[in-house]
A and B are shown apart, each in its own frame.
Chain A
């Protein structure tokens, strides 16, 4: 047993890579390890991962992180998991073998299915029960697609021979042998009722998903079990969606507190307290977290699918930069975007528009534009998309954001952070320990085993590391925003019904 361990480890299983962080009780990073996994794009709009590659990488990064710090599993008092949400894995309950690649959250193959579901049952049914619109983003339709497309799968799912899980379930099942998920992950399936926090029979019926394949829904902070070898004895004590983990890592424990994580995609999450708040402006009502037997806390979320992913695309598909940080260097070779705007609707538009018929667009091109301007437009796309989400949030919640707490892989980009402050017209602050996803998973796990006593103690560990103040002229900002909105209008109506 590792209850006397002096450290907590957390796994951040993300879209692009898996990482393990080891923290001490002062929230200091003791060691880190990271391993990227392959992105498979079998067809345009399709995105998949190999679940076994992910599992191997997770075990590897934990081992490497421990080795780097000269620690053993006995030094850990808990292991927490934060995961990319919605990504769907189906596996054989007996052999553990996946029946298909994991279908990623950004995958859009369920587009026609979603439109049929919306037509047949109406968006209202889903929004009322789950707080979500019916779109390709969520797991439920992905499960149905797999059932429809793999012969014999329906029968096996109905008997529980084949199990479903988001990545948290896949990992916990492999580590501890229990088939569970937490409320935040379950709240992204379109199958869980937001009010009962249980699978909803009407939704299972509508989506055609058998109950036998579903995991048990548990709190985000709880000892699910002890890990087997190679982490023998370590309590697996938390699971939550990565964005919710970041909310916890940013210690946003009170209603009204919010953060935005800038990574492959960007996610603005506002803690709305013990009651769910409906959105009429394209945001998602979702779970923030549930700590043990405490009340579930809800959140409003603005999800932006493509932000850092655009920089990676610029690097890997266009080859215009050698590494992601170089985007800032390239963008600084020019003074502004030269009039061009890039709306990366690669998987359609997410919040607040939710248009699955949209695809990416670069507009405003003239012979003046060079790769420096494009690099600027790539960065500015993140800021403008955030602005749209913040506006929706202010309207839904009824009060305006006064400061933005940020975290995630894009925060080292000073140009972006300053531009963000400029277009939002509020100060942007970054905490020390920008790795809030990992920290949040560690906090949630640590609370479950008593490594930290309560959330107030965690709040005392939050300190400002940097701050960017708005410096843009209001007229210039309004003009640029107007252009941005024009660019967005040019992304829709692209995908045809027969595609």
Chain B
């Protein structure tokens, strides 16, 4: 028995050293405890001291090309037109280039060094170049899926299998809501560029978490939120009286049958009623001075990416925890030079304005901004759909982060000389999620929910916090 014990102990010690030595003992709060607290309407406690209060995720749907944005590859230009070496592509999954010739294709726009940090960014993004010292570029992202729908699902839920909660839902489940009259997780969409990506509601779904954690879509046309507007024939006063009579009758019934659920329901009606006022206020830009509109490059709340960036700031000010902006136009299989110009033109200035605006208001430190697609694009050219473009690529792509606790001016990770594989400090989507949760004060290994007998996590069974990119 003693020898047995020694062997087992040694192994446990090694395990401990590798994974957990030095971590402070933290109060344990499993998934079910969190759920209980959330249900009771209180705010659950974070696991760690939080660095930021909220996340703004700028999702560049379709997969922007890293070679025309953040990953300069002169070697690709040198080999342009030559076959991509077999050693890279053999046995690798491939999307629309199935059966096509695989040829190198260099960056189509010049790169430039920006700011004191000298981060290299394509000249297509001069405004983001202007905030180079505030952002951390990660060039070594990789993911598991090569088609849009599943790749988005990985980026948002950590797996390509449907039915799992999206990251915004996890965050709200872990931290609760801050705003009393707006949803805690809001989704905004805009388009422009190549044919817009279809987007499934799954991308902001609460999955197996209760539906109150799901993202709420805001729209630029029609009602800003589904059903937030009183029916046309009903006056605001009448609506108020209906709601208060419903509350009074529900309260009487709650007494008759001793129902706590009905009491919760009454609170939801109050919030719904408040939303009927708070949402129109939120989406009304008339209180924004002209110079702010100019900074974002918008004339009003018209559903453009620029308007949505400003709306994101307004949501952030009002305590919304997770703001997810989709720009749907980045799938540049063909005419890449043209469409990249369109898409960068629509997103460069507003993205940078959002960072600057939050900074000016002293909110950047408490916000984490992430700018990313669901995957990247091939170093190979695609010519079977018209003018030259690039196909989907999952082995390497680039993104940037800014805000609380993020090391500005840093370029992290690298791809090989042809930009095919992430080779230096590769970062998986799980690592991004772990880092995001960490900044919010959540331990990705302890943010769990028991479903089908298993404690599920946003990061599945992987994920490492990227300490190197944190201050």
Are A and B co-members of a single complex? Answer: no
Report which A residues bind B (CB closer than 8 A): none
